[in-house]
């Protein structure tokens, strides 16, 4: 009975999304056709769809999609690992936090568009500068989530582990990491979205591969249908990578109250 109700709610949610998107596309279509809007200003949905399909059937998009996906995943994984390690070290060692936190805040608050030329000068125009930009955007939210999770451990649990004479690895794996997971996954979701944004910004500013390059090319040639199709593809990549993190969260946090029916 519970499964039937869950399935019904899922189908109802899907139906609501489809109706909402369908209504938006209908209004968009009617506006462009009734007002005879020029394609270079706002193409109709069918023109965007034709361009979207054309990117795949022509084979143009595959290499660019792979390049962006590779940059996003590699930058996200490295940035997440560094964020977890630094978050742990910041909680355990005050002098490391004091020494490194100002630099992390600098890279987090500095305009990313302004950092791209600087990274190109330092690391070249290739993939390395793009990966480093993505890492700089992922580290801070993951670090903050790790610190929040570690700070939320009840003192009674810490005292219990001392009584049981647990070693450092047992404390980390059985208590600290488990308590940090809920807030850590919240920050990882932010991090993966930041990774996609970072990749597109880096490719927009420099490079001849990636979805950002497609957007730059379409914008410079006034290929507005291709531009919107590229934006939609970027959104789909963001949704796909976000859902990957969400699936991992459901698998690892099956025991958490938020995942129980």
pLDDT digits (tens, 9 = 90+) for 159-193: 777 777 777 787 787 777 888 888 899 999 999 99
Q: How far apart are CA 64 and CA 69, in angstroms?
A: 9
Burial bucket for residue 246 (CB in 10 Å: 0-12, 13-18, 19+): middle
What average pLDDT does the segment 120-148 reach?
Answer: 87
Report residue 4's pLDDT band, with 50, 70 and 90 as the boundaries.
Answer: low
What confidence tens digit (pLDDT) does each residue in 20-45 have?
Answer: 888 888 998 888 888 888 888 888 88
Among 219, 208, 215, 206, residue whose Cα is nearest residue 235: 215
Average predicted confidence (pLDDT) for the chain: 84
Assign residue 165 a region (left: φ > 0; alpha: ψ between -120 and 50; beta: otherwise).
left
Report residue 66's pLDDT band, with 50, 70 and 90 as the boundaries.
Answer: very high
Q: Is the pLDDT of residue 261 over 70?
A: no
* Three-state secondary structure call for residue 221: coil
The C-alpha angle with vertex 162 and arms to 157 and 165, in degrees rounded to 5, equals: 130
More confident residue, 252 or 78: 78
Q: What confidence score (pLDDT) does residue 19 get? A: 87
Burial bucket for residue 251 (CB in 10 Å: 0-12, 13-18, 19+): exposed
Q: Is the pLDDT of residue 3 over 70?
A: no
What average pLDDT does the segment 186-204 reach?
Answer: 91
Q: How far apart are CA 75 and CA 138, in angstroms?
A: 8
Q: What confidence score (pLDDT) does residue 5 get? A: 55
pTM greater than 0.75 (yes/no): yes
């Amino acid at each position: 009975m519970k499964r039937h109700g869950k399935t019904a709610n899922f189908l109802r949610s899907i139906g609501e999304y489809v109706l909402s998107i369908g209504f938006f596309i209908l209004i968009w279509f009617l506006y462009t056709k009734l007002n005879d809007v020029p394609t270079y200003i706002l193409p109709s949905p069918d023109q965007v769809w034709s361009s979207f399909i054309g990117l795949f059937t022509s084979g143009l998009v595959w290499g660019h999609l792979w390049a962006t996906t590779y940059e996003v995943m590699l930058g996200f994984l490295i940035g997440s690992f560094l964020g977890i390690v630094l978050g742990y070290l910041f909680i355990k060692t005050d002098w490391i936090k004091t020494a490194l936190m100002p630099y992390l805040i600098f890279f987090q608050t500095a305009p990313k568009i302004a950092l791209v030329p600087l990274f190109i000068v330092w690391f070249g125009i290739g993939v390395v500068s793009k990966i480093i930009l993505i890492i700089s955007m992922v580290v801070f939210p993951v670090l903050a989530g790790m610190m929040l999770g570690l700070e939320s451990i009840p003192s009674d649990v810490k005292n219990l582990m001392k009584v049981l004479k647990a070693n450092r690895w047992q404390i980390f794996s059985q208590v600290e990491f488990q308590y940090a997971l809920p807030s850590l996954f919240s920050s990882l979701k932010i991090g993966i979205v930041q990774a996609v944004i970072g990749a597109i910004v880096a490719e927009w500013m420099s490079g001849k591969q990636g979805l950002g390059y497609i957007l730059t090319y379409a914008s410079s040639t006034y290929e507005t249908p291709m531009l919107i199709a590229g934006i939609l593809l970027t959104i789909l990549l963001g949704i796909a990578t976000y859902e990957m993190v969400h699936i991992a969260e459901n698998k690892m946090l099956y025991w958490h109250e938020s995942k129980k029916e």
